[in-house]
Structure 1
Amino acid sequence: MATRQRQSAESCNMEGGDVNKEEAETPPDQSQPVANSAPDGGWGWVILVSSIVVLALTLAFPSCMSIFYTDLQKQFHASNSVTSWVPSIMTAVLHAGGPLCSLLVERFGCRATVIMGGVLSGIGMAASAFTNSIVELYITAGVITGLGFCFSFQPAVTILGQYFVRRRVFANAMSSTGTALGLSTLPTLSNYLHTEFGWRGSFLILGGMLLNCCVCGALMRPLGPSKPKAHKQKANGPTKTGKENLKLLASCIRRHMAFDQFCNNQRYRVFSLGVTWMMLGFVVPLIFLVPFATDNGMDQNKAALLLNVLGFVNIIVRPAFGLLFNLAWFKGRHIYVLSVALLLNGLSNCICCFSATFPVLLVYMLCYGLTMSVVGTLLFTVLMDIVEMNRFLSALGLLAIMESVTLLIGPPLAGLLVDKTGEYTYVYLASSITVVTSALFLLVSFYWLDYRSTAKKEPSPVSASLQSPDCQYIRVSAGEAEKQAAIQTERVTSV
């Protein structure tokens, strides 16, 4: 045992030396926190509020496109499957731009990247007001606006993880209320703008509103030391050869795509596959909610009110869930709570198969909102549990790319299903099957991994060694924890 502890200490010291070398060459906005620098308060509360606003303007925005869905169909004489590509591309690019966003954060920092995202999304949405074809809308509202959302959303989540360690679950839960805030306000605002100015005027105004992401980004003060002069001198050094550039590119791709995590960390691999499959049907019900309700004779104002109800449920419930899941009993059990919530969320979609009246859809929104609150509260927390914090951004980037595939094809497949059958109920049934199967996959897989890990009496994930203090799945005794405290360079969330 003593030999093992000495080896662990030596490996930690070696890794700490490598980390220090990397930190000496990183820009001031580098997404890795310095040792013991997370304040768990102070300016972190400003970061939290900024993240809430950014998430409200980015993650919740694609659901507002359902307000303009019918108008876009009539304007461009497009079918359901063709029109549904607009929110689909927007959501897919929002996630697929993760590795590019990771590179920008590495080079320019979270603050500059969020500001850049605000400019892109604002320009893209404003330009959408002047499009003359559905293909042009794919480019402006889909690609440009979606990429801007990506550049704003992912750094906001990352810098929040740097500022909060002990209160990380609560901070993630509070930031996720930003999505709920957007769901409760943006549909009503979009419906009002649609009534007063039409879809073109609405897109122009919404584009100006998205520029507020720039203000939020300006408030995201980075943690960490200033950029050393050695780095500036290195940047002006001799030009690298083509072979060296290829090696640098390959190293950069491996670092920012988290392929090593996907290959070696079984928990991350299972989580990524399960969440990717889940996304195929998770957002589809919200995109088709307003068309589904209006197709069954409901007034559009009432249909938009359903999305408001969903948002208000999330606003009320998510902070409470954040406090609840921050209790010590839930440490290491977040994935099971998330899986059960996904299971119930998928089953709630079956409610729409019985009726499309306002009371029935109201009950559906309440059930969907409660389960969605749990999912939104724990999704990033579980990812932070299973990977080290200094690899979180790259792990999130790879997960986002995987999600983007199913997010891209989900709404068009649902639209094609409506075109072929003429019924929206089949969309909700298919979404239910997709989400339920993903929940069962996560639940069974993580239970098996925990059972196997307990039987072998080894640390759960491959990456969760003594050098991985940010992972929640570390199992050490109290005596070992005290000895490790002297050699660890980062703050420990829990043991």
Structure 2
Amino acid sequence: MASSRRARHAGPPDGGWGWMIVAGCFLVTICTRAVTRCISIFFVEFQAYFGQDYARTAWIHSIVDCATMLCAPLGSLISNHVSCQVGIILGGLLASTGLILSSFATSLEHLYLSLGVLTGLGFALCYSPAIAMVGKYFNKRKALAYGIAMSGSGIGTFILAPVVQLLIEQFSWRGALLILGGFVLNLCVCGALMRPIALKEDHKTAPEYLEQDYALKAQKRDLKRMSICSPLIKVWSHECLCYCSWKEYDFLLMPDFMVLAVSILFMAYGCSPLFVYLVPYALSVGVSHHQAAFLMSILGVIDIIGNITFGWLTDRRCLKKHRHFCYLFAVGMDGLCCLFLPVLQNFPLLVPFSFTFGYFDGAYVTLIPVVTADVVGTSSLSSALGVVYFLHAIPYLVSPPVAGWLVDTTGSYTASFLLCGFSMIFSSMLLCFARLAKKIKRAQLRSLTSDTGTKQHIWTNGAIAYSVTAELDQKNFEFLASDTNSYSNR
């Protein structure tokens, strides 16, 4: 009911407090996605301390990513029905608790639960609601706003990667996790910035709609005499749940969203292992620890440029109608980078790879919420983003351990990187063919519509001609009948 008291805006303000929302989302991406990427720097430390192989150690990173994306609909649900501010503050507390508990870990299983499940759940409550809030405040400059907000992932990676490496050297991995736990508490500050906004295009919420409806029925039936625990409450709760489920997730039946969802599954499978194995791969080809961390920093800072420049470019008139093709082009380029990675076996060659992969990674990450908003609309964006990030969960969970198993089995990273590259290229091609098929079908429908319109025009003219002819025949018949009667009277 509090949302009904807010002033409704005719449309997104495209500025004002919206820039504070962008700043808050920027900090959220630093504290969630950048911290998740930097967990790969702990990979070698965990492997050496616990004496485990690649596959078992990779589960830590995959569980964090999986929990973050798997619980994304929960973050959207809390944001829609309670408050975006409450969801992000609660997520910050959970994520910080998970990192602090991870600093006391005595086994990989302990890290699976604390660093994987608990921290990932906290990140889930923060990530998708913060991104959806940017879409509420911006329309004309939506891609640019998302570019700035999502660049927090690259900036955070650029800054945190060497800092985390330094913290590990100075305080061991336990001390580094403890400090990261305190840093992640800044999510609570980000949550305080997320001021809700009510747009006229948004539909009424289910509780308001049903409460008004049943209040009228209650007055007519004089339900004041009945007990508080009347069957009305059961009916209200049942219909409220059905209404919420249908109105919030009816976009799941849209063909465009289905194709986007399938393509995201393959894209998520291909992009996740690289952030886990780039540092170990660099170390395996003779790159030093500081240079390997520097590769992550390069990837992060170029990621920022990709976020902002691609966001700005796709807001231009010439590209605004082709955001889907810009998205699939960026995904396809990242796939090609993964295919060429096995032949890059020294630091000078890995630096251009970090530049290229980082730029296009930032490009498509920026366009994910923009393309989703173009498909489902602003009113369903929060729920749709929850589903989109939920679809990342299984690939994020499976792909790093599968890549680690391939490394353990084959003794090299070639098979893992080739699988990632082909997966991302398939994702891009799938979306490309779907868009082309839609254009061909639309052209066929237009031609059929034009033919049908011509036939309808001819039929209508024929009907008019027929009716006019019938009317003239009727008048002639009446004229002849009158002549006959007059002749007989004579």
TM-score for the superposition, normalised by structure 1: 0.81
- C-alpha change, 1:139 and 1:250, in structure 2 (3 Å) is farther
1:172 corresponds to: 146
1:41 aligned residue (4, 15, 21): 15
1:404 corresponds to: 393
What code does the residue aligned with 1:61 have? V
User: Quick check: 1:143 aligned with 2:133?
Assistant: no
What do the CA deviations read for 1:203-255 (whole angstroms, capped 9, x no partner)? 11001000001101111111139x99999999997566667645544444444
Aligned residue-pair number: 428
2:31 corresponds to: 57
1:91 corresponds to: 65
Which shows bigger deviation, 419-428 or 209-218? 419-428
Give the whole-Å Cα distance in 2 for the aligned partners of 1:340 and 1:166.
23
CA contact (8 A) 1:276 1:399 kept: no
Q: How much has 1:320 moved relative to structure 2? A: 2.2
CA contact (8 A) 2:72 2:127 kept: no
CA contact (8 A) 1:29 1:111 kept: no
Give the whole-Å Cα distance in 2 for the aligned partners of 1:448 and 1:27.
42
1:189 corresponds to: 163
Give the whole-Å Cα distance in 2 for the aligned partners of 1:323 and 1:348.
24
Q: After superposition, where does 1:63-102 map in structure 2 within 5 Å?
A: 63-102=37-76
What code does the residue aligned with 1:355 have? L
Give the whole-Å Cα distance in 2 for the aligned partners of 1:213 and 1:326.
29
What do the CA deviations read for 1:278-327 (whole angstroms, capped 9, x no partner)? 11111211110111111222111110000100111122343222221101
2:421 corresponds to: 432
User: Quick check: 1:262 aligned with 2:252?
Assistant: yes
User: Quick check: 1:285 aligned with 2:274?
Assistant: yes
Give the whole-Å Cα distance in 2 for the aligned partners of 1:292 and 1:238.
63
1:324 corresponds to: 313
1:383 aligned residue (360, 365, 372): 372
SS at match of 1:114: helix
User: Quick check: 1:334 aligned with 2:323?
Assistant: yes
2:352 corresponds to: 363
Give the whole-Å Cα distance in 1 for the aligned partners of 2:367 and 2:337.
19
What code does the residue aligned with 2:64 have? M
What do the CA deviations read for 1:257-278 (whole angstroms, capped 9, x no partner)? x2x3222x11111001101111
1:374 aligned residue (363, 387, 398): 363
CA contact (8 A) 1:29 1:224 kept: no
- C-alpha change, 1:223 and 1:79, in structure 2 (3 Å) is same
What code does the residue aligned with 2:317 have? A
2:441 aligned residue (452, 477, 483): 452
Q: How much has 1:450 moved relative to structure 2? A: 2.3
Q: After superposition, where does 1:245-256 map in structure 2 within 5 Å?
A: 245-256=237-248
TM-score for the superposition, normalised by structure 2: 0.82
Give the whole-Å Cα distance in 1 for the aligned partners of 2:4 and 2:159.
36
- C-alpha change, 1:300 and 1:397, in structure 2 (3 Å) is same
SS at match of 1:42: coil
CA contact (8 A) 2:305 2:359 kept: no
Q: After superposition, where does 1:467-478 map in structure 2 within 5 Å?
A: none
What code does the residue aligned with 2:60 have? V
SS at match of 1:390: coil
2:338 corresponds to: 349
CA contact (8 A) 1:285 1:427 kept: no
User: Quick check: 1:124 aligned with 2:122?
Assistant: no
Give the whole-Å Cα distance in 2 for the aligned partners of 1:115 and 1:232.
29
Give the whole-Å Cα distance in 1 for the aligned partners of 2:393 and 2:4.
30
SS at match of 2:283: helix
1:199 corresponds to: 173
Q: How much has 1:336 moved relative to structure 2? A: 0.7
Structure 2: gaps of 5 or more residues? 200-204, 216-226, 448-490
CA contact (8 A) 1:113 1:151 kept: yes
SS at match of 1:47: helix
- C-alpha change, 1:420 and 1:250, in structure 2 (3 Å) is farther
SS at match of 1:60: helix
Q: How much has 1:425 moved relative to structure 2? A: 2.1
CA contact (8 A) 2:95 2:123 kept: yes
User: Quick check: 1:107 aligned with 2:87?
Assistant: no
Give the whole-Å Cα distance in 2 for the aligned partners of 1:313 and 1:229.
46
Q: How much has 1:184 moved relative to structure 2? A: 0.8
Q: How much has 1:97 moved relative to structure 2? A: 0.8
CA contact (8 A) 1:27 1:108 kept: no
SS at match of 1:389: coil
Give the whole-Å Cα distance in 1 for the aligned partners of 2:157 and 2:327.
21
1:419 corresponds to: 408
CA contact (8 A) 1:314 1:373 kept: yes
Structure 1: gaps of 5 or more residues? 1-24, 459-495
User: Quick check: 1:393 aligned with 2:367?
Assistant: no
Give the whole-Å Cα distance in 2 for the aligned partners of 1:342 and 1:355.
20
Q: Percent identity?
A: 30
CA contact (8 A) 1:115 1:215 kept: yes
Give the whole-Å Cα distance in 2 for the aligned partners of 1:453 and 1:35.
34
What code does the residue aligned with 1:413 have? V
CA contact (8 A) 1:115 1:218 kept: yes
Q: How much has 1:374 moved relative to structure 2? A: 1.7
Give the whole-Å Cα distance in 2 for the aligned partners of 1:320 and 1:356.
30
2:303 corresponds to: 314
